[in-house]
Amino acid sequence: MNLLLLETADFTAPDKVVLRDRRFTHMQAVHRVELGDSLRVGKVDGLMGRAQVTRLEDHEAELAVVLDQPPPAKLPLTLVLALPRPKMLRRVFQTIATMGVAKLVLVNSYRVEKSFWQTPFLEPAAIREQLILGLEQARDTQLPEVLIEKRFKPFVEDRLPAVSAGTLGLVGHPGDYPPCPRHPEQPVTLAIGPEGGWIPYEVDLLGLAGLQPVQLGERILRVETAVAVLLARLF
Amino acid sequence: MNLLLLETADFTAPDKVVLRDRRFTHMQAVHRVELGDSLRVGKVDGLMGRAQVTRLEDHEAELAVVLDQPPPAKLPLTLVLALPRPKMLRRVFQTIATMGVAKLVLVNSYRVEKSFWQTPFLEPAAIREQLILGLEQARDTQLPEVLIEKRFKPFVEDRLPAVSAGTLGLVGHPGDYPPCPRHPEQPVTLAIGPEGGWIPYEVDLLGLAGLQPVQLGERILRVETAVAVLLARLF
């Protein structure tokens, strides 16, 4: 946790919070804070700044908060991702929040196992928990937008063209395609497939929506690594 | 597992292997192989090719192997990494093997907790296990070289200059430094610090060994993500 993220409900006054939960435990166990210590804080979807510990008890702490700095800029990116397996999904939520993805769309694909859609990690509170962990890691306050599209074809045909309009549209796909461009300096819409990749029909449909295939070399990367590698190359 | 990696001990003839362990279970449970099926295989530190299932029993399979393709090229990189916490370490071994790092040096640093050096994940068999998983993911056969340097100063002063000579030497370090270069087209020696970063004394010493600080932007990345991001930017 490189930033203590504060929620609206934590505030007892405009410049004062009381913490009792995981964050209080973390302050004590990891940061070993004492009365008067100063910590980096941010308000979810708000500004960042510092907080001073003004009261420290066994079960809670009170902090005086000054929020005066903007969070880092988001990447100008919509990431369309075939739903990964649940364990990977949790880490992907953290990774995309840490790296500054503005918008994530989770879609179905022929090679996504149907059971993956049953995972409790897709519940809004579970998604938010992982995104918050990712923001705390990065020192960011702005939650990425996460959309869930369980049907591939209606999403790609009816809604993706409007998302990709005016952006560089790319599909990560192994094969005889151009390499993923480096630092293209324009907004990007990027689609990353499931383990085993998109099927040709899906690549064709993504192409009609404005996304052209690019490849990343011979090595096959886990989804989480592929996300980090593609974003590092693009931005 | 995108490649079934064969060990010397698996061979019962120059072109024949018998499998019984994790790989046999995986062939059955995930690939659901049947008699006559063909699989991608590679020999550890050797060639890649295909194998046909010539005998399939409850507890073992025999495969006829043809190895005729070279593995993908390694990255021209020595990665010097402050020892990560054990759970992260295992994933880092997989990631560096998947991404094609040729040589990894694990070093101590002021901010590495002493207890991390006690982890069983540093035992040679445990390291090899994770590297193999990473190679199977990537479709590569060549094990990265892994060196363990428990003392920072003697390594950086006495051995690192010879490693970094003739390469682009870089230290990932937050601060007012140039951004990490993109695709420099020369071999690289790259040092990545622990959680919390290198201390100034360490950055100075790495500088004397030929490694100059570069930064990666405002966001603080987990070690595993930082490794993937820096390699994607460099290669």
ipTM of the complex: 0.93
Q: List the single residue in B140, B222, B232 with the smallest CB-CB distance to A98.
A: B222
**CA distances to A57, A182, B3, B66 from B63, in Å:** 66, 42, 14, 10
Q: Which residues of A touch B134 (CB under 8 A)?
A: none
* CA-based nearest residue to A192, from A76, A80, A84, A78: A80
Helix (H) or strand (E) holding B174: none
Of B137, B221, B233, the CB nearest to A222: B137
Q: What is the pLDDT of residue A175?
A: 87
Partners of B217 on chain A (C-beta within 8 Å) are 72
Confidence of residue A37 (pLDDT cuts 50, 70, 90): very high
Question: B128-153 pLDDT, tens per residue?
Answer: 999 999 999 999 999 999 999 999 99
| Residue B31 confidence (pLDDT) above 90 | no
Which domains does chain B possess? Answer: 4-69 (2.40.240.20), 75-234 (3.40.1280.10)
Distance CA B106, CA B95 (A): 14
- The partner residue sitting opposite B2, judged by closest CB among A95, A220, A232, is A220
Q: How close is the nearest chain B Cα to the Cα of A59, in Å?
A: 27
* Confidence (pLDDT) at B179: 95
Q: By a Cβ cutoff of 8 Å, what residues of chain A touch chain B?
A: 2, 72, 95, 98-100, 137-140, 182-183, 217-222, 225, 228-233
Q: Which residues in chain B have Cβ-Cβ distances shorter than 8 Å to A100?
A: 219
Interface residues of chain B, partner chain A, Cβ below 8 Å: 2, 72, 94-95, 98-100, 137-140, 182-183, 217-222, 225, 228-233
Strand, coil or helix: A206: helix
Chain B residue whose CA is closest to A219: B138
> Over chain B, what is the mean pLDDT?
96
Question: B223 falls in which pLDDT band (50, 70, 90)?
Answer: very high
Q: Which is nearest to A46 in space by CA: A26, A25, A89, A17? A: A17
Residue B36 has a pLDDT of 96
| Mean pLDDT of all residues belonging to chain A | 96
For B47, phi then psi, to 5°, come to -85, 170
Q: How far apart are alpha carbons A52 and A65 in whole angstroms? A: 7
For the segment A205-235, what is each residue's pLDDT rounded down to a tens digit? Answer: 999 999 999 998 999 999 999 999 999 999 9
Nearest-angstrom CA–CA distance, A66 and A14: 10
- Residues of chain B in contact with residue A99, where contact means CB-CB under 8 angstroms, are 219, 221, 225, 229
Percent of chain A, pLDDT > 70?
100
CB contact under 8 Å between A220 and B182, yes or no, is: no
CA-nearest residue of chain A to B216? A232
Element (H, E) at A201: helix A200-208
Q: Left if phi > 0, otherwise alpha if psi is -120 to 50, otherwise beta: which for A39?
A: beta
Predicted confidence (pLDDT) at residue B175 exceeds the cutoff of 90: no
Of A21-25, B107-111, B202-206, minimum mean pLDDT range: A21-25
CB atoms A218 and B72 under 8 Å? yes
Residue the block writes with tokens 């490694």: B211
Number of CB atoms found within 10 A of residue A50's CB: 17
- The answer to whether the Cβ–Cβ distance between A222 and B98 falls below 8 Å is yes
Residue A197 φ/ψ region, left for φ over 0, alpha for ψ in the -120 to 50 degree band, beta for the rest = left
Mean pLDDT of B176-195: 95
Question: Stretch B65-94: mean pLDDT, rounded?
Answer: 97
Q: pLDDT tens across A134-154, in order?
A: 999 999 999 999 999 999 999
Does the pLDDT at position B174 exceed 90? no
Give the pLDDT mean for A113-131.
Answer: 98
Alpha helices in A38-180 (DSSP H): 86-99, 124-138, 152-154, 160-164
Handedness of CA A212, A213, A217, A221 (dihedral sign): positive
Helices (H), B81-199: 86-99, 124-138, 152-154, 160-164
Q: Is the dihedral of CA A6, A8, A12, A14 positive or negative?
A: positive
CA of A108 vs chain B CAs: smallest distance (Å): 21
Task: Indicate whether A31 pLDDT > 90.
Answer: no
- pLDDT of the residue at B112: 97
CA distances from residue A168 to A207, A234, B149 in whole angstroms, order as listed? 12, 10, 44
Is the confidence at residue B7, as pLDDT, over 90?
yes
Residues A155, A158, A159, A161, CA torsion sign: positive
- Residues of chain A above pLDDT 90, percent: 94
Reported confidence tier of residue A76, pLDDT bands at 50, 70, 90: very high
Give A95's contacts in chain B (Cβ within 8 Å). Answer: 225
Looking at the partner chain, which of B183, B218, B225 has a beta carbon nearest the beta carbon of A228?
A: B225
Of B100, B182, B231, the CB nearest to A183: B182
By the 8 A CB rule, do A127 and A105 touch? no
The Cα of A137 is separated from the nearest Cα of chain B by a number of Å equal to: 6
